[in-house]
């Protein structure tokens, strides 16, 4: 009987070994842990929430969605720690009214554990006290397996929170533990803008409601009555001479009262010249259109470039209706001009370094036309660094060289590009900034 049972067991074991494994898109590694940290602050404070990964088994593509209560928090910045994802990723602070998104794509798995980002939030001035959650979710979280196929990653998420310490109303003076709460003084308006070009005092109305104004403070500094501000009835005027000492941006003025909550005045100091500069459009290069390694078709084109009135036939290709030029060809073309730049490539790190205003060192094969009528362009896996800072910009590799969109080069170097549809000629104007 024992022999029969052993034989049956071996037969079943053989049958199970012959059944093929069922493949899945999920990478079976539940040990990966994504954690959002926690912070504490008062209304008006700025707090930092760290985003980290532990037991990282490697990932190449991600779209992380961080959700929060928009009635209590405003996202200010997502700062890359460069511990896990060096080279930069894309941040959309306004992905949804209550969510921000962080995205990144790499040609290889990133295997480090640690802090991915530090996310800064401002606690809104009118935020109610208590805890508010910060939650983590993904649209994509992928790794490359041994066959270079992208697989979903299973993970555990630890959500974070912000504890808001809302200001309390102290009891009225002399009321003791059982006395009635003081009536708060009221400030109108609670927020104002001061332009440095105006040169006028900033006046607000303070309704005392039985309390006494003891003084004004900005941070740890106490304003001087008479010199920095004056009081006439319910009108409190902050002097222009004092306001001129404040830097551009937001400042909090605390009205210290004898009882009740201290009203808070938010003053935003602006400058007309700065506002005009800020009103100018900010152009960004086209971000990568495809994952690294993706192949697309590129058609050879022979648009003439006009530089300083001279026509130049320039080898280029068209992808998605735009002209793409070899980076080293363009560096050679503008060498010696006000828009010259150097190009260095480090194979070990996969980083292309562009240094503006530096002279270009040619390899000797620039501006030679070896393009076929149709070329296979491969989305470049290299990271691009301009003057020491990483940028997100689309690039394609053709015949071993990186090609960039002409308009992206114009944005990076800040020069004007004018296309004449009738002559199909492209004018490069180095005396004017880039516009669209």
Same domain, 302 and 403: yes
Same domain, 320 and 223: no
Same domain, 363 and 316: yes
In a domain, 97, yes or no: yes
Same domain, 314 and 344: yes
pTM: 0.41
Same domain, 35 and 155: yes
Tokens standing for 173?
């003076």
Q: The domain spanning residue 217 has which CATH number?
A: 2.60.40.10
pLDDT tens for the chain, 436 residues: list them. 444 444 544 444 433 333 333 333 444 445 899 999 999 888 889 999 999 999 998 999 999 999 999 999 999 999 999 999 998 899 999 889 899 999 999 989 999 999 999 999 999 988 888 889 999 999 989 999 988 888 999 999 999 999 888 653 334 444 444 445 568 999 999 999 998 877 789 999 999 998 999 999 999 899 999 999 999 999 999 999 999 899 888 999 999 998 889 999 999 988 766 555 555 667 889 999 899 999 999 999 877 888 878 888 888 999 988 999 999 999 999 999 999 999 999 989 999 999 999 999 999 999 988 999 999 999 999 899 999 999 999 999 999 999 999 999 999 999 999 988 888 889 999 999 998 8
Residue 142: domain span: 31-164
Query: Which residue, of 245, 276, 307, is where some domain finishes?
Result: 276
In a domain, 21, yes or no: no
Whether the CB-CB separation of 385 and 351 falls below 8 Å is answered with yes
| Nearest Cα to Cα of residue 334 among 310, 314, 360, 352 | 360
In a domain, 179, yes or no: no
In a domain, 6, yes or no: no
Q: 305 vs 316, 331, 334, 368, 424, CA distance in Å? A: 11, 14, 12, 15, 9
In a domain, 72, yes or no: yes
Same domain, 345 and 410: yes
Same domain, 74 and 147: yes
Q: How far apart are CA 327 and CA 382, in angstroms?
A: 13
Helices (H), 376-426: 406-413
Same domain, 310 and 422: yes
Q: Is 336 left (phi over 0), alpha (psi -120 to 50) or beta?
A: left
Q: The domain spanning residue 102 has which CATH number?
A: 2.60.40.680
In a domain, 316, yes or no: yes
Q: Specify the number of domains making up the chain.
A: 3
- By DSSP bridging, strand 150-153 and strand 130-144 are antiparallel
Same domain, 331 and 424: yes
Whether the CB-CB separation of 283 and 260 falls below 8 Å is answered with no
| Nearest Cα to Cα of residue 78 among 59, 102, 54 | 102
Q: What is the three-class DSSP state of 6?
A: helix
Whether the CB-CB separation of 48 and 119 falls below 8 Å is answered with yes
In a domain, 18, yes or no: no
């Amino acid at each position: 009987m024992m022999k029969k049972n052993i034989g049956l067991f071996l037969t079943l074991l053989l049958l199970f070994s012959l059944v093929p494994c069922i493949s899945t898109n999920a990478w079976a590694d539940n040990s990966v842990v994504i954690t959002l940290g926690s912070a504490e602050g008062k209304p008006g404070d700025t707090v930092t929430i760290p985003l980290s990964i532990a037991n990282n088994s490697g990932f190449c593509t991600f779209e992380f969605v961080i959700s929060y209560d928009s009635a209590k928090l405003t996202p200010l910045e997502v700062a890359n720690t460069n511990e896990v994802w060096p080279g930069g990723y894309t941040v959309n602070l306004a992905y949804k009214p209550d969510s921000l998104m962080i995205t990144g794509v790499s040609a290889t798995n990133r295997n480090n554990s640690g802090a991915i980002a530090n996310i800064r939030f401002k606690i809104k001035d009118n935020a109610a006290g208590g805890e508010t959650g910060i939650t983590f979710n993904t649209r994509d979280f992928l790794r490359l397996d041994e066959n270079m196929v992208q697989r979903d990653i299973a993970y555990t998420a630890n959500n974070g929170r912000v504890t808001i310490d809302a200001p309390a109303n102290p009891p009225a003076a002399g009321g003791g533990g059982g006395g009635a709460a003081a009536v708060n003084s009221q400030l109108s308006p609670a927020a104002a803008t001061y332009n440095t070009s105006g040169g006028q005092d900033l006046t607000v109305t303070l309704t005392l409601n039985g309390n006494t104004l003891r003084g004004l403070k900005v941070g740890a500094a106490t304003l001087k009555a008479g010199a920095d501000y004056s009081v006439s009835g319910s009108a409190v005027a902050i002097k222009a001479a004092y306001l001129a000492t404040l830097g551009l941006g937001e400042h909090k003025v605390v009205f210290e009262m004898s009882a009740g909550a201290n009203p808070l005045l938010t003053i935003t100091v602006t400058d007309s010249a700065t506002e005009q500069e800020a009103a100018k459009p900010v152009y960004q290069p086209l971000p990568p259109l495809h994952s690294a390694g993706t192949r697309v078709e590129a058609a050879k084109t022979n648009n003439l470039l006009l530089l300083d009135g001279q026509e130049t036939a320039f080898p280029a290709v068209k992808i998605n209706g735009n002209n793409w030029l070899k980076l080293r060809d363009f560096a050679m073309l503008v060498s010696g001009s006000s828009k010259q730049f150097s190009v260095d490539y480090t194979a070990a790190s996969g980083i292309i370094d562009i240094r503006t205003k530096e002279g270009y060192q040619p390899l000797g094969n620039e501006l030679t036309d070896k393009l076929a009528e149709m070329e296979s362009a491969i989305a470049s896996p290299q990271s691009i660094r301009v003057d020491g800072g990483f940028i997100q910009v689309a690039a394609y590799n053709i015949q071993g060289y990186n090609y960039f969109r002409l308009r992206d080069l114009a944005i990076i170097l800040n020069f004007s590009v004018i296309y004449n549809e009738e002559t199909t000629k492209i004018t490069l104007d180095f005396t004017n900034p880039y516009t669209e």
